[in-house]
Amino acid sequence: MANGEDGCCLKDVLVTFQSCLNDQQEILMDPYVAGWKGLVRFLNILGTIFSFVSKDAVAKIQIMENYRSSDQKDQYSTLHSMVKYELASNLVDLKKPGDQPPSGCRTILRLHRALRWLQLFLEGLRTSSEDSSASALCTEAYNASLAKYHPWIIRKTALLSFYVLPARNTFLELMNVGTPADAVAMLEEALPSIVKVYDITEALYAQHNLLDIP
């Protein structure tokens, strides 16, 4: 398990999510996707055992980057404009994973569900006692969020991979922001913006009945 990568610290990644909101409280696509890219860098630090997760995240990031460099890029400047555009153009298949390329709405929904896992996991790390196990906290966060959307084989693989996670304090040190106490303080400051991004996306998807896109 490597320690740090390119001097990157988790605080910088979480701050990217803070910069997602525009004046209308809409979520800007570029920092949202950049936030996920930063998280994948941290995932890679944790070892190749998580490559099945990072491959999926990278594929989804790539789909969104492709939309952002297509002729329709302006339609994808915020999550709100994407929803409006894809629904109006009939690009979202609400019944089955389509033959057509995955829509932006479907792709963001997968990342959005994973953001809930992240929030719960980081909240668990922040509020747990020093001798807690990151593996147990991660399992708890996964079971309360992503697990219900994953088939058995992915659940099984995910739960097994969590066993390699280090002790809570080691994990906090890997965030590269200083001592475990510094990391806890950083999380306390940064988590509200993750929650805000999650809540706004959830409300947007609920308003348009998009929370179950297959």
The residues binding ligand 1Q0 (CB under 6 A) are: 10, 39-40, 42-43, 45-46, 50, 52-53, 56-57, 110, 113-114, 117, 138, 142, 146, 154, 158, 165, 171, 174-175
User: Of the two residues 88 and 153, which places its CB atom closer to ligand 1Q0 in the complex?
Assistant: 153
Tally of helices (H runs) and strands (E runs) in the chain: 9, 0
Closest approach of ligand 1Q0 to the CB of residue 12, in Å = 12
User: Of the two residues 34 and 46, which places its CB atom closer to ligand 1Q0 in the complex?
Assistant: 46
- Cα–Cα distance between 186 and 178 in angstroms, integer? 10
How many beta carbons lie within 10 A of that of residue 14, not counting itself?
23
Q: Give strand pairing partners of 21.
A: 27
User: Of the two residues 158 and 190, which places its CB atom closer to ligand 1Q0 in the complex?
Assistant: 158
The token pair at 125 is 């790390």
Closest approach of ligand 1Q0 to the CB of residue 40, in Å = 6
Closest approach of ligand 1Q0 to the CB of residue 196, in Å = 18
- Cα–Cα distance between 155 and 56 in angstroms, integer? 14
- Cα–Cα distance between 169 and 20 in angstroms, integer? 29
The token pair at 139 is 């399992």
Closest approach of ligand 1Q0 to the CB of residue 76, in Å = 18
- Cα–Cα distance between 95 and 147 in angstroms, integer? 21
Closest approach of ligand 1Q0 to the CB of residue 47, in Å = 9
- Cα–Cα distance between 142 and 211 in angstroms, integer? 18
- Cα–Cα distance between 154 and 116 in angstroms, integer? 18
Closest approach of ligand 1Q0 to the CB of residue 171, in Å = 6
User: Of the two residues 68 and 110, which places its CB atom closer to ligand 1Q0 in the complex?
Assistant: 110
User: Of the two residues 27 and 173, which places its CB atom closer to ligand 1Q0 in the complex?
Assistant: 173
Q: Which residue has the tokens 């965030």?
A: 175
Nearest residue to ligand 1Q0, by Cβ distance, number only? 174
User: Of the two residues 21 and 115, which places its CB atom closer to ligand 1Q0 in the complex?
Assistant: 115
